Amino acid sequence: MIECQIFAIGIALSMESYSLNIVHWGSDHADLVEQIVKKVKSWRLTVIRSADQRLPIAEEASVLVVDSDHQGQRIAKKYAAQLVLLPAGTQSPRPYNARVEYLQMPITGWQIAHALHRLGHSLAVQTELDRLHRSVQQQNQEMTELNKIGIALSAERDADVLLEMILNKAREITTADAGSLYLIEKNNNIKTTENDYWADKQLRFKLAHNDSINSSYREFVMPVKKSSMAGYTAITGKPLNIPDAYNLPRNSQIQHNKSFDEKMGYRTQSVLCLPMKSHRGEMIGVLQLINRKTSAAAKLADPSGFQRHVLPFDQRSVEMASSLASQAAVSIENMKLYEEIKGLFEGFIVASVHAIEQRDPTTFGHSQRVAELSLGLAQKIDQISVGRFRDVHFSRDDLQQIKYAGLLHDFGKIGVRESVLVKAKKLYPEQIDMIKYRFQFIRQALELNTARKKMQMLLKKSPEQVAKEFSRLDRFLQEKMMEVDNDLRFILETNEPRLLDSEGFERLSELRNLTYRDNGSVNPYLTEQEFKFLSIRRGSLGEEERLEIESHVTHTFNFLKRIPWSSNLKNVPEIAHAHHEKLDGTGYPRGLKDEQIPLPSKIMAIADIYDALTAWDRPYKKAVEESRALEILGYEVKDGKLDADLLDVFVQAEVYKQVARPEKA
């Protein structure tokens, strides 16, 4: 009867597809349970007959069948479900959870089979739910990871860092041993044809990583052809997943170039190539991942290592890496746009500065050189790990700000009159011309006057007297003419932007009081304005002109603050505004003191003075040698005007050698 029953149960349950582990712990009904379980192929039974024997650790979801004396929550917790067989006449306790069943003697095979079936089915459902739950959790984790990568990629503005990051992250999430990154670009040597999109394109091998071998690489370009893996991916626009590059299908268009492997003792086995498309669907690059490994730490050092650790790229890798490739493409496109805008902006700045500097050819190239010197000094300071500059660091944005501020620091010269800007002598050229004409007139007036006097004598005096007077008049005229010539010569000498001593000033004051007659009116040798300019003690500029030149800083600031700088460049106006300030407060325009002056402005002050001193010869001033310029900067430091530590770095690190000096005119 039992045999027949068990057979029937076997038939009835053999259709069940779920597998079930059953552990029977006890002695009373072991045979019966064993006979039932044996009839169902997908069920496995472990029997523990002795109460002393320990229960095996349940690794998979299992049903524990126990006699009543073995039951208990402690045991049940280890197993996902429990079937308790109770002696006849025992009160069935209420199950303490859904996966506990009680059967009371006498028990038929059907009852046991159905109880096991119910528990097994419930376990199978639970197992599937758990699997789904884990899968959702894993997807969430992957999504979070991809999001994090996406954010990091979108924040990166440096092209090289961005590409490195893309390849690194792609290898990380797929545990790929190696990888390469290609960018698609236009080949300008080939004419664009309408019917072949790829004819004028090429793949630039931009970057390569390999965890197992140290190999240097260099950029190269190759045509976009279906015979290469990267080319095939670019043309088809679809992921290319090759489990073993050494076993390509016979009819495959793709050829595996083994030269790298042969040269480096490597084996490019599993390959995953992913297209990188812009949001407009334009192909911009290909991401190639090589040799997915059992773990990121595995080293592929010898043939057995490749055999043990290299796996084909699975569906999850394809999905994850594809998603990353899409994000990477957007970031690369953004970065390109950013670079283009930056290039456009910088081009505009350089062109504007060029136009302004053309107003004063003697300072041509000054702004560019000040930008380069300031940048050079800032970079050196950034590298210093001891002393005062230990904690001073300049980010990429900081350096960008210094560069722009350097290029634009004298932009405000646009607001200074050109005649003042290029004024080389104390008087303007038209003033000196006027003085020369005036002295010419004075000479002629003297000659005329003498001639007139001679005429009168001819009419009034005897020939003897005339001869005597004439020679006296001629001597007088000659003396006067010499005086006038000397005066003019003195004025021309005083016009040079040299130091005017007190003797010179006295003579100038005397000249100011001299007059000549013109048509009855009495005029001074020098106008008030001419006297004022010629009295300039040093250089070529009067007080008002000096203030006008100095106003360039305020013009620069007013101009720069009108530009809607992005937040990372917002300090450009302030840096430029303080480039003529001195530590002791004697600078302009605001007379700021040491702690009020931004460090980049202090850097720029050194670069600015150095370049102004060493720039090419001016009509009134010789360019000074490098060593002399550094000496003069040293005096400025001693006078408490420039930062001593900054000058020290400028000199020690030979920053001043970083720019090409202009050709001597």
| DSSP H or E run through 182 | strand 176-186
Beta bridge partners of 20: 43
Least separation in angstroms between residue 173's CB and Fe ion is 51
Judged by CB under 5 A, the stretch of 51-59, 149-157, 308-316, 408-416 that binds Fe ion is 408-416
Instruction: Specify whether the CB–CB gap between 321 and 289 falls below 8 A.
Output: yes
Least separation in angstroms between residue 608's CB and Fe ion is 4
Cα 107 to Cα 110: distance, rounded to the nearest angstrom: 8
CA angle 530, 532, 534 (to 5 degrees): 65
Least separation in angstroms between residue 237's CB and Fe ion is 53
Least separation in angstroms between residue 355's CB and Fe ion is 16
The residue behind tokens 């039951």 is 71
Cα 364 to Cα 200: distance, rounded to the nearest angstrom: 41
Footprint on residues 90-149 left by Fe ion (CB under 5 A): none
Choose between 80 and 607: whose C-beta lies nearer to Fe ion: 607
Residue 608 interacting with Fe ion (CB under 5 A) = yes
Least separation in angstroms between residue 478's CB and Fe ion is 52
Choose between 314 and 550: whose C-beta lies nearer to Fe ion: 550
Cα 157 to Cα 332: distance, rounded to the nearest angstrom: 9
Choose between 211 and 581: whose C-beta lies nearer to Fe ion: 581
Least separation in angstroms between residue 592's CB and Fe ion is 15
Number of residues in contact with Fe ion, rule: CB under 5 A? 2
Choose between 398 and 608: whose C-beta lies nearer to Fe ion: 608
Choose between 26 and 365: whose C-beta lies nearer to Fe ion: 365
Instruction: Specify whether the CB–CB gap between 663 and 361 falls below 8 A.
Output: no
Cα 455 to Cα 473: distance, rounded to the nearest angstrom: 12
The residue behind tokens 């079936």 is 117
Least separation in angstroms between residue 558's CB and Fe ion is 14
What's the alpha-carbon Rg for the chain, to the nearest Å? 48
Choose between 327 and 363: whose C-beta lies nearer to Fe ion: 363
Least separation in angstroms between residue 409's CB and Fe ion is 5
SS3 196: strand
| Pairing mode of beta strands 62-67, 81-86 | parallel
Which of 5-9's residues contact partners 24+ apart within 8 Å by CB, and which partners?
Answer: 5/108, 5/109, 5/110, 6/35, 6/36, 6/39, 6/109, 6/113, 7/39, 9/36, 9/39, 9/109, 9/110, 9/113
Cα 34 to Cα 38: distance, rounded to the nearest angstrom: 6
Least separation in angstroms between residue 488's CB and Fe ion is 36
Judged by CB under 5 A, the stretch of 309-317, 410-418, 423-431, 444-452 that binds Fe ion is 410-418
Cα 86 to Cα 340: distance, rounded to the nearest angstrom: 82
Judged by CB under 5 A, the stretch of 407-415, 431-439, 441-449, 592-600 that binds Fe ion is 407-415
Least separation in angstroms between residue 362's CB and Fe ion is 12
Cα 651 to Cα 496: distance, rounded to the nearest angstrom: 34
Residue 530 interacting with Fe ion (CB under 5 A) = no
Choose between 179 and 587: whose C-beta lies nearer to Fe ion: 587
Judged by CB under 5 A, the stretch of 25-33, 347-355, 424-432, 601-609 that binds Fe ion is 601-609
Judged by CB under 5 A, the stretch of 46-54, 116-124, 404-412, 497-505 that binds Fe ion is 404-412
Choose between 177 and 410: whose C-beta lies nearer to Fe ion: 410
Choose between 62 and 571: whose C-beta lies nearer to Fe ion: 571
Single residue of 177, 398, 410, 530 touching Fe ion by CB under 5 A: 410
Judged by CB under 5 A, the stretch of 140-148, 183-191, 244-252, 600-608 that binds Fe ion is 600-608
Choose between 321 and 356: whose C-beta lies nearer to Fe ion: 356
Burial (CB count <10 Å: 0-12, 13-18, 19+), residue 249 = exposed
Q: x/- contact string, 179-218, with Fe ion (CB under 5 A)?
A: ----------------------------------------
Q: Which residues bind Fe ion (CB under 5 A)?
A: 410, 608
